[in-house]
Every structure is written in C-alpha cells, then in structure tokens.
C-alpha cells in the first residue's frame, strides 16, 4: 500500500511540475490590459417595461435585435427574455448590451403554446409590440422604424401591447 500512495503522489506532482515548466518566466498574475489600446466598449443594461397587456395569462417573450435580418425574421435575437404578466405589465432586463442601434419585439403568448396565434388570414389573436411602439401598415414595422440608439449605462424602454 505504501508504494501505491507514493505513486499517486508522484502522479499528482508531475503534471503540476510539468505545467510550471511550460509557463514563460515573464508571465505574471497581473490582469492583462485590453488589446484594443484601452478602448474596450462599455456595456449597459436595457430594462424593458411592457404595459397594456389585456390579462395576466401566459408568458411574454421579448427579443432584442441588432439588425434588420434578425428583426424581420423575428428569430435569432441577440438576447431573449420571458416573463409572466402581473397586473397587465412585465419587466425584463437585457444585460451586457454594447452601445448601438437595436430594435425590440415581443409577443404575449396567452395560451403558452410558444407562438403568436393568428386567424385564418394571419391577423394576430394575441398581443404583440415593438420598440418605439412602431407599427407596420400590413405586417410588422421595418427595423429602422423600431430601432433605438442604446448608449452605455442603464436605459429603460417602455412598450405597449397591441391587440387586433
């Protein structure tokens, strides 16, 4: 048994020693400065408050979009959140957002089937909305109509649910 313990100790010590030999002498434990010359982009948080939900049933799904393609497809938002309504309102927060132009969209999935239900001609039966409360003529608004300039730091966006 004594031999087994010594072998175990050697196995544990050898990999650590081997790793120490691979570290160059100039490496220190100090934090590495940014490689972009100190111009790292500050991030912020977007607090989204959605009001005028007609009931507290279901779930509200919110998406943050950074470009027209993502917004038009309503798939692949750079961040997504969900919340259950309380007193006709939900609040979600998107953290670590780099300053830029973004558009938000949401659906109020009242029956929790994870989609926006529509009638036979495509008119939504459930609530929906977009940043800047933008609306399209026959369908969703364009990205540019809903896009917001988001600075670094904290930002609050107020949106209102629409029902057809």
CATH number at residue 109: 2.60.40
- On whether residue 152 sits in a domain, the answer given is yes
- On whether residue 106 sits in a domain, the answer given is yes
- On whether residue 97 sits in a domain, the answer given is yes
Q: Which of 162, 54, 56, 58 lies closest to 111 in space, CA to CA?
A: 58
d(CA 75, CA 65): 9
pLDDT recorded at residue 40: 60
Q: Which structural domain range is residue 120 located in?
A: 44-160
- On whether residue 78 sits in a domain, the answer given is yes
pTM for the complete prediction? 0.75
- On whether residue 21 sits in a domain, the answer given is no
- Give the burial class of 97: count Cβ atoms within 10 A of its Cβ; 0-12 exposed, 13-18 middle, 19 or more buried: buried
- On whether residue 142 sits in a domain, the answer given is yes
pLDDT recorded at residue 36: 45
d(CA 32, CA 91): 37
For the chain, how many structural domains are there in total? 1
Phi, psi of 49 (to 5 degrees): -115, 120
pLDDT recorded at residue 1: 46
d(CA 70, CA 143): 9
- On whether residue 53 sits in a domain, the answer given is yes
pLDDT < 70 regions, the chain? 1-40
- On whether residue 139 sits in a domain, the answer given is yes
């Amino acid at each position: 048994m004594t031999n087994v313990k010594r072998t175990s100790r050697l196995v544990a010590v050898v990999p650590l020693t081997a790793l120490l030999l691979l570290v160059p002498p100039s490496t220190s434990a100090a934090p590495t400065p940014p490689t972009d010359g100190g111009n790292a982009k500050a991030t912020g948080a977007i607090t989204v408050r959605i009001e005028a939900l007609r009931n507290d049933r279901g779930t509200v799904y919110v998406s943050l979009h950074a470009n027209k393609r993502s917004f038009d497809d309503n798939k692949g938002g750079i961040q997504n959140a969900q919340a259950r309504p309380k007193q006709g309102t939900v609040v979600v927060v998107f953290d670590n957002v780099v300053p830029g132009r973004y558009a938000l969209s949401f659906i109020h999935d009242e029956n929790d089937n994870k989609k926006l239900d529509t009638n036979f001609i495509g008119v939504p039966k459930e609530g929906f909305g977009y940043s800047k409360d933008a609306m399209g003529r026959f369908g969703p608004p364009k990205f540019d109509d809903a896009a917001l300039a988001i600075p670094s730091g904290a930002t609050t966006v107020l949106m209102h649910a629409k029902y057809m």
